[in-house]
Copies of this chain bind each other. A is one copy, B any other.
Amino acid sequence: MKEKLTLMIPGPTPVPERVLHAISKHPIGHRSPEFQEIVEKTTILLKWLHQTTSDVLTITGSGTAAMEAGIINTLSKGDRVICGENGKFGQRWVKIAKTYGLDVITVKANWGEPLNPKKFQQILKNDPTIRAVIITHSETSTGVINNLEEISTYVKAHNNAIMIADCVTSIGACNVPMDKWGIDVIASGSQKGFMIPPGLSFVAMSEKAWEANKRSDLPRFYLDLNAYKKAVDKHSNPFTPSINLYFGLQEAMTMMKEEGLDSIFRRHEKHKNAIQTSMKSIGLDLFAQQGFGSPSITSIIPKNIDAEEIRKSVKNDFDILLAGGQDHLKGNIFRIGHLGFINDRDILTVIAAIETTLDKLGVASKPIGTGIETASKILNAIN
């Protein structure tokens, strides 16, 4: 039976019924007082989620639009920046930065390993001309979480540099206290922890980021954050926004507020642990280095079989969509997204489906049920 799809990819993530109902309402005028109220309320909730008193701006576009906006609104051609690169989204940062003529120093780590914060510290110490450090917090392509907190500390100590982070698959999944950690620009997208369909993205800008904005001379129009700032101060948008996704944003953020930040983070942590431990218990390896698994995505290395075969079989038999490996990882890993609107039942379901599939494909090394037993202990210990 088809038509009963469950998404367990890193995005789009499952959308609650409340949100689907909200986005199916007839649009209203985006210059009306009723819409201004939605902009005002969602902006307050976005600041709450980012744990910041700074601006959080909503763009109609994908997470990449938010990433690009973060760069082109704070930097100038020729500016020297450090980009962290340990996966596909780190590579995207480098590409965007080079597109705009920035002078990019790349700090790399192998895919599956975290960035070494000390390398950033060292470069920053010796080079007062650095204008920005740009990294991916949760690297969606590998399932690795980078130490944004520590790297931010070194950036904070530097006079000129700002900290720009892609938090697309970390915000709404784990603790990202923007003000406390001193992050200056956070880019994210709606189809992740926000639990709404893709089409909106968010850029948070600290005071230091706005200071950098004053000297930034890169050309921009649709992604000119000054226009968004001017508009949001009047509870409005510079251009016609995705009105129906705004309806969804309001509903989803209300649900997040009801659950509470701590509960959201605990739930993701529990699910990450359940997935990681159960996968290891059935003899599969994790791609991310121990201790650096993302709260949102777990990358798994199957043995004696192409990862795509498992992924296709799980999709075909159980209509659960898992993600494959990207680029050179294709066939080597599959990825489970456990981000956003995911409950314990979803975790048990995906583990049971994977166990059943490994058995069907003749590559199970443990009795079926081993993974479920492992996961259930973690779920029961915390519930």
Asked if residues A24 and B29 are in contact (CB atoms below 8 Å), the reply is no
- Contact code string A14-55 (vs B, CB < 8 Å = 1, else 0): 110000110111111110100000000000000000000000
19 contacts across the A-B interface (CB closer than 8 A): A5-B26, A7-B29, A9-B29, A12-B240, A12-B243, A21-B24, A27-B191, A27-B197, A27-B198, A60-B65, A60-B199, A65-B222, A95-B221, A100-B221, A198-B240, A198-B243, A199-B241, A242-B242, A244-B244
Asked if residues A62 and B21 are in contact (CB atoms below 8 Å), the reply is no
Query: Considering only CB atoms, which chain B residue lies closest to A315 in the complex?
Result: B32
Give chain A's interface residues, CB within 8 Å of chain B: 5, 7, 9, 11-12, 14-15, 20-21, 23-30, 32, 60-65, 68, 95-96, 99-101, 189, 191, 197-199, 218-223, 239-245, 321
Given contacts A15-B26, A32-B321, A96-B221, contact A64 B199 (CB under 8 A): no
Query: Considering only CB atoms, which chain B residue lies closest to A62 in the complex?
Result: B239
Contact of A24 among B24, B222, B240 (CB under 8 A): B24
Contact of A219 among B15, B100, B241 (CB under 8 A): B100
CB distance from A187 to the nearest CB of B (A): 11
Q: Please, which residues of chain B bring their CB within 8 A of the CB of A244?
A: 23, 197-199, 244-245
Asked if residues B60 and A60 are in contact (CB atoms below 8 Å), the reply is yes
Asked if residues B12 and A219 are in contact (CB atoms below 8 Å), the reply is no
Q: Please, which residues of chain B bring their CB within 8 A of the CB of A240?
A: 11-12, 62-64, 189, 191, 198
Asked if residues A197 and B242 are in contact (CB atoms below 8 Å), the reply is yes
Interface of A is mostly: loop
- 5 more contacts with CB within 8 A, not counting A7-B29, A32-B321, A242-B242, are A20-B26, A60-B65, A61-B222, A62-B240, A62-B241
Q: Please, which residues of chain B bring their CB within 8 A of the CB of A101?
A: 219
Contact of A26 among B14, B63, B68, B96 (CB under 8 A): B14
Query: Considering only CB atoms, which chain B residue lies closest to A66 in the complex?
Result: B222
Query: Considering only CB atoms, which chain B residue lies closest to A12 in the complex?
Result: B27
Interface centre among A7, A30, A61, A218 (most CB of B within 10 A): A61
CB distance from A40 to the nearest CB of B (A): 19
Contact of A62 among B29, B60, B245 (CB under 8 A): B60
Q: Please, which residues of chain B bring their CB within 8 A of the CB of A61?
A: 60-61, 65, 222
A241 to B64, CA, bound (A): 11
CB distance from A327 to the nearest CB of B (A): 13
Asked if residues B199 and A242 are in contact (CB atoms below 8 Å), the reply is yes
Asked if residues B27 and A7 are in contact (CB atoms below 8 Å), the reply is yes
Q: Please, which residues of chain B bring their CB within 8 A of the CB of A198?
A: 27, 30, 60, 240-244
CB distance from A112 to the nearest CB of B (A): 22
A28 to B63, CA, bound (A): 18
Asked if residues B64 and A197 are in contact (CB atoms below 8 Å), the reply is no
Q: Please, which residues of chain B bring their CB within 8 A of the CB of A32?
A: 321
Q: Please, which residues of chain B bring their CB within 8 A of the CB of A11?
A: 240
Given contacts A61-B222, A65-B61, A240-B62, contact A15 B27 (CB under 8 A): yes
Q: Please, which residues of chain B bring their CB within 8 A of the CB of A219?
A: 99-101, 218-219
Asked if residues A64 and B221 are in contact (CB atoms below 8 Å), the reply is yes
